[in-house]
Chain A
């Protein structure tokens, strides 16, 4: 179908764009930036903040360009005196109700409001609010909200409702009392928040941030009695560089390892290694379910946000979840059992830190059913952003760091585990191993491109001896809901489903570096970050989990058979239905 083109002028420049384009997008395509605040492409297109106003000849007032469609012959002016004054006044009024403690704000330097004030030339505060006290809500394990810094753009509520279909936050009350909160102003910890953190990366200001756990890590590093072990998740190596201004999609694995060593960690392992164990266990579990008539479709369990969502919204599907712990939890468990025994260290003296793209991991580390022999597998889970801050605080010039290598034992990994960080990666990694095992090594396919890409729902089927295996990969909880509803209604038939809570998978997790809407609206972060993972996978000699020699050694010396008794004790868990609403 041919797209109808529309001709207009913007600041006198002729522009031709397809019908339905907004003025803001049309201007962008002509190299003109219109400042915006509440606009988040595909998520929050509500024209609420009035920062993006422009003059349109013939229109009776200024129009919000983020929602105003182009029309034939339209004459748009984005930089008139009237427009500039209006934007300035709007921003001044927003600032009049914003607690400006920029010097001590976690978002300082990465704040969109700060940047707007500079861009629009706000050089004095005319309408200073009486001192606004902080309004801290920190009930949940993963997040701190300070509504005194909220600009009511509604980007957080939009991603919570639309991308995630969780919808635990909204706009409460009216007028000056309007604020973001949960229903009945309950604490976040009391409602069915899944801790995904997508609201944090959508927030333009410091109103939302992860709960900072770096002090706990500094304390452990300074404690001579603690043996401090760290492991970063697959996706962190392709996003950490963004904290230091590197282009999106830069792989900084070597520098990251050196940074962790220089921060003083006793051992720098790789959660990629644990991801290989996940594949061995999950693959074995899947084959056993296929052969023994277990609950199908089997659904992956790597994403704690997804797990919590399933426990709350689909408790009838818990039997379908793989019983495998997530790679983070497998990592901690292996460190405190196999590694502890091998090194002769009491697990109680080991302090395990994970570096995650994720805020739900902070919630996961404290899940009581993870407790073994009195200890929890992981002591602190940091986000990519928190690691970035630790590196800065330690005075490490990140781009000057030489490449380092992970410590042996639990540091070696395969390409299969590297791609865990992208949607479809776990499925592809599992298939690489499963197909080879099922065909007794006769079929050795490496790349399963059908399950790659950033689409929210992907499906494929593969012919294995004796049966067809139908798989589905989805990311973003709204897509998970679609797939599960279809499965329950008997309309969709799969054997194996990969679900990641965040759209695009871990590369787009709620713990990843902050990128302004100005970048997020025009650059596909998910695709660029994922590409870096697939590139790393391509360059590796070992690309299948079961080929990992360390993994083979650990099974031989310690765990026994994949899926066996000891492996189950250390690497598997169980799930508990959870309430959505509390009405005590």
Chain B
């Protein structure tokens, strides 16, 4: 389960935590409070690490398993921060038929991480995305704002090495 425990150390600030606690206080006791609080938490921290979910659980006085159940259900929530370089491999129809799945697994292999997660040093995060509007170049991968097209799996390694 890539969207689970992150390998990057938590670096939330007391200011961020204070803002989250204020939002929790606003919603506490209301039915369905978990969703808006988690949305706000992701807004504040950029993602939902275990430390943040514990603050939410204790603040709302609900089990951590309930918070995690909601956070792991919705695709909009991420439990991993984004890396210094954000890699998106397009899995849209055109890219997919042109072998994007092989590109994605080449990236996973190269970085030693699963889709949806981040390398230990925080340098690269990897996501699959849907259509970046460059179907003519399929299969396509983006690293940050750089677009790489007509890719073959063996090109992946050298491209990523440029960002090291």
Cα distance A174–B53 in the bound complex, in angstroms = 18
Query: Is A185 an interface position by the 8 A CB rule?
Result: yes
Pick the interface stretch among A25-33, A92-100, A163-171, A197-205.
A163-171
Cα distance A184–B65 in the bound complex, in angstroms = 8
Contact A583 B50 (CB under 8 A): yes
- Which one of A170, A174, A177, A583 contacts B68 once the chains associate, using CB atoms below 8 Å? A170
Cα distance A171–B62 in the bound complex, in angstroms = 14
Query: Is A182 an interface position by the 8 A CB rule?
Result: yes
- Which one of A172, A174, A184 contacts B5 once the chains associate, using CB atoms below 8 Å? A184
Contact B54 A172 (CB under 8 A): no
Interface core residue of B5, B65, B69, B74 (most chain A CB under 10 Å) = B65
Contacts of A186 in B (CB 8 A): 5
Cα distance A174–B10 in the bound complex, in angstroms = 26
Q: Check A174/B65 contact, CB under 8 A, given A185-B4, A583-B50.
A: no
Contacts of B4 in A (CB 8 A): 184-185
* Contact residues of A: prevailing secondary structure: loop
Interface core residue of A157, A166, A171 (most chain B CB under 10 Å) = A171
* Nearest CB on B from A374, distance (A): 38
Which residues 92-138 in B have Cβ within 8 Å of A in the complex?
none
Which residues 64-81 in B have Cβ within 8 Å of A in the complex?
64-69, 72-74, 79
Cα distance A185–B63 in the bound complex, in angstroms = 14
Query: Is B51 an interface position by the 8 A CB rule?
Result: yes
Q: Check A581/B65 contact, CB under 8 A, given A173-B1, A185-B4.
A: no
Contacts of B65 in A (CB 8 A): 157, 161, 167-170, 182-183
Which residues 147-185 in A have Cβ within 8 Å of B in the complex?
157, 161, 166-174, 177, 182-185
Contact B54 A581 (CB under 8 A): yes
Interface core residue of A167, A169, A170, A185 (most chain B CB under 10 Å) = A170
Cα distance A161–B68 in the bound complex, in angstroms = 14
Query: What is the 8 Å Cβ interface bit string for chain A, positions 408-437, against chain B (1 contact, 0 not)?
Result: 000000000000000000000000000000
Contacts of A171 in B (CB 8 A): 69, 73
Cα distance A583–B55 in the bound complex, in angstroms = 12
Contact B50 A184 (CB under 8 A): yes
Which residues 1-47 in B have Cβ within 8 Å of A in the complex?
1, 4-5, 10
- Which one of B51, B64, B73, B74 contacts A183 once the chains associate, using CB atoms below 8 Å? B64
Contact B66 A161 (CB under 8 A): yes
Contact B64 A581 (CB under 8 A): yes
Contacts of B72 in A (CB 8 A): 172-174
Cα distance A311–B49 in the bound complex, in angstroms = 26
Contacts of A183 in B (CB 8 A): 50, 53, 63-65, 67-69
Contact B63 A167 (CB under 8 A): yes
* Nearest CB on B from A240, distance (A): 34
- Which one of A168, A172, A174 contacts B63 once the chains associate, using CB atoms below 8 Å? A168
Contacts of A191 in B (CB 8 A): 64
* Nearest CB on B from A129, distance (A): 20
Nearest neighbor of A178 in chain B, beta-carbon distance: B73
Which residues 497-545 in A have Cβ within 8 Å of B in the complex?
none
Cα distance A191–B50 in the bound complex, in angstroms = 13
Which residues 123-160 in A have Cβ within 8 Å of B in the complex?
157
Which residues 66-112 in A have Cβ within 8 Å of B in the complex?
none
List 20 A–B pairs whose Cβ atoms lie within 8 Å, in order of A's numbering. A157-B65, A161-B66, A167-B65, A168-B63, A168-B65, A170-B68, A171-B73, A172-B1, A173-B1, A174-B72, A174-B73, A183-B65, A183-B68, A183-B69, A184-B50, A184-B79, A185-B5, A186-B5, A583-B10, A583-B54
Interface residues, chain A, with chain B CB atoms under 8 Å away: 157, 161, 166-174, 177, 182-186, 191, 581, 583
Interface residues, chain B, with chain A CB atoms under 8 Å away: 1, 4-5, 10, 50-51, 53-54, 62-69, 72-74, 79
* Nearest 9 pairs of A and B residues by beta carbon: A167-B63, A170-B65, A183-B68, A170-B69, A183-B64, A183-B65, A174-B73, A172-B72, A173-B72
